[in-house]
Amino acid sequence: MEKFVVVGGNRLKGTIRANGSKNATLPILAATLLTGGVCTVNEVPRLKDVFVMQELLTYLGAKTNFEGNTMTVDCSKVQSQEISEDLMRKMRASNLVMGPLIGRFGNVKISYPGGCNIGSRPMNLHLKGLATLGANISEKFGYISASAKQLTGTVIHLDVPSVGATENLIMAAVLAHGTTVIRNAAKEPEIVDLQNFLNAMGAKVVGAGTDIIRIEGVKELGSVIHTVIPDRIEAGTHMVAGAITNGDVVVTNVIPEHLDPLIYKLREAGVRVEVMDDSVRVQGTGVIKAVDIKTMPYPGFPTDMQAQMMALMTIAEGTSVISETIFENRFKHVPEFRRMGADIRLEGHTAIVKGVKRLSGACVEATDLRAGAALILAALAAEDGTVLDNIEHIDRGYERIEKKYNALGARIIRVNSQ
Ligand SMILES: CC(=O)N[C@H]1[C@@H](OP(=O)(O)OP(=O)(O)OC[C@H]2O[C@@H](n3ccc(=O)[nH]c3=O)[C@H](O)[C@@H]2O)O[C@H](CO)[C@@H](O)[C@@H]1O
Ligand SMILES: C=C(OP(=O)(O)O)C(=O)O
């Protein structure tokens, strides 16, 4: 078990590069299962979740090679086979192998990936969509089986714009017979990246980035070389790091448009944000004003930035109202912030954050990935030292975050604790 010891109070200054997007990489790696060709994927972040996806692909018979930030995957020898609980439970996003496996092989059996710390995260929309495409679905003893002689294109209307369901259904439909239309699809940039990856393999997908996606089935897909988009959530976290320490931070390798909801909120909060072609500069102005936040599907304010923004609001002037509308249990960081002196009241899915002058260091726990990142941010701004436990959650989504922040003037030490 490892912990972070964070010595707060240093202004972060300098340039920091965001990696390729975790949430774009995971479906893209799952999509390599759709072809017998060789897929080369650049800008793959070296994260725990990515290693789990690599392990899953290898288990299914793929040959993978991961050097630097490039992964090559050869799925020519892959067979669809039952994936057991121990592998599926390692990561929620394991469910993304479902669409490609049924699409290419006509059958898939996986253990339920289960819920997680931020909510119950059901799979009903994935399964309903696959059934609409013609799959027979059964659920028994925590396993989901789906099979179909040939999936057939159809119209699927999603009750809510689920990112994962949209991705799984696109991947299932690319080799289906005929045309599939997904309505009320999720519009996240990661779905556009998946579309670009699939089309480069020979698929015919249009509409990603809007709420109607049209997929014309093709007979087979081939080899591809693709570069993953920058991670807007990692970049956003670094931007808040600049703001919360009253620093001056340039974040490179970003697509600024993907950061719009955050850029506008930070400006509203009194932080200076300058947008360049593929970088953003965040400068503290000595004042942080309270702003209200409501998480929404893209292009709304991302739920994956809610905890980090709450960290900033804990030391804002005034009272901020933060509403979480995507996940029912994504306020587990609140008691941890309170340990650091934050003044936060919870009313259902809303947090009322009354800014305090200063946070103080404490022993706190990362309850999930973004909660952990948010606690690092709070600790950077706090008086005294903070000890942050359960940092394996943070390693799921940030590659050696302490190294990156220390290069900007932070003091974060990774320690082994038994
Ligand atoms: C690997 C990855 O890309 N993860 C992201 C993805 O997760 P993920 O794809 O799991 O999130 P979804 O978009 O599916 O979830 C959105 C909402 O839909 C609900 N839902 C989802 C599926 C379903 O079958 N039934 C159902 O009710 C969920 O409970 C949640 O309330 O999008 C989330 C929302 O932007 C992000 O927080 C995650 O970081
Ligand atoms: C919730 C997240 O990821 P996942 O969907 O993989 O749990 C996240 O990246 O913040």
Which stretch of 67-71, 139-143, 240-244 has the lowest confidence by average pLDDT? 139-143
The pLDDT of residue 114 is above 70 = no
Q: How far apart are CA 196 and CA 189, in angstroms?
A: 11
Mean pLDDT of 198-219: 98
Give the relative orientation of helices 369-381 and 306-313 as an angle to the nearest 10 degrees: 20
Q: Which residue has the higher pLDDT, 1 or 174?
A: 174
* Contacts of residue 293, Cβ cutoff 8 Å, sequence gap at least 6: 265, 301, 306, 309, 310, 313, 320, 321, 322, 323
pLDDT band at 320 (very low <50, low <70, confident <90, very high): very high
The pLDDT of residue 418 is above 80 = no
pLDDT at 119: 87
pLDDT in tens, 63-104: 999 999 999 999 999 998 899 888 898 889 999 999 999 999
* Domains, in order of start, for the chain: 2-19+230-416 (3.65.10.10), 22-227 (3.65.10.10)
pLDDT at 410: 98
Q: What ipTM does this complex have?
A: 0.99
Site to probe by mutation for ligand 1, drawn from 95, 326, 370 as the one with most ligand atoms within 8 Å of Cβ, is 326
Mean pLDDT of 199-220: 98
pLDDT at 25: 98
pLDDT at 378: 98
Scanning the structure block, which residue is given the tokens 């892959």?
78
The pLDDT of residue 205 is above 70 = yes
CA of 21 to the centre of ligand 2 (A): 11
* 28 annotated among ligand-binding-site residues: no
pLDDT in tens, 4-54: 999 999 999 999 999 999 999 999 999 999 999 999 999 999 999 999 999
The pLDDT of residue 153 is above 70 = yes
Is 75 annotated in the active site?
A: no
Q: Global pTM?
A: 0.98
Query: Any idea which ligand is nearest the CA of 295?
Result: 1
The percentage of the chain sitting over the pLDDT mark of 70, rounded to a whole number, equals 99
Contact indicator for 19, 49 with CB cutoff of 8 Å: no
pLDDT band at 115 (very low <50, low <70, confident <90, very high): low
CA of 150 to the centre of ligand 2 (A): 32
Mean pLDDT of 339-368: 97
- With a 6 A CB cut-off, is 93 part of the ligand 2 pocket? yes
Nearest CA to ligand 1 atom 10: 164
pLDDT in tens, 181-198: 999 999 999 999 999 999
* 326 annotated among ligand-binding-site residues: yes
pLDDT at 84: 85
Distances (CA, A) of 166 to 12, 20, 170: 38, 21, 6
Which stretch of 18-27, 105-114, 211-220 has the lowest confidence by average pLDDT? 105-114
* 304 annotated among ligand-binding-site residues: yes
Q: Which residues line ligand 1 (CB under 6 A)?
A: 23, 26, 92-93, 119, 121-126, 160, 162-165, 186, 190, 303-304, 326-327
The percentage of the chain sitting over the pLDDT mark of 90, rounded to a whole number, equals 94
Site to probe by mutation for ligand 2, drawn from 370, 395, 399 as the one with most ligand atoms within 8 Å of Cβ, is 370
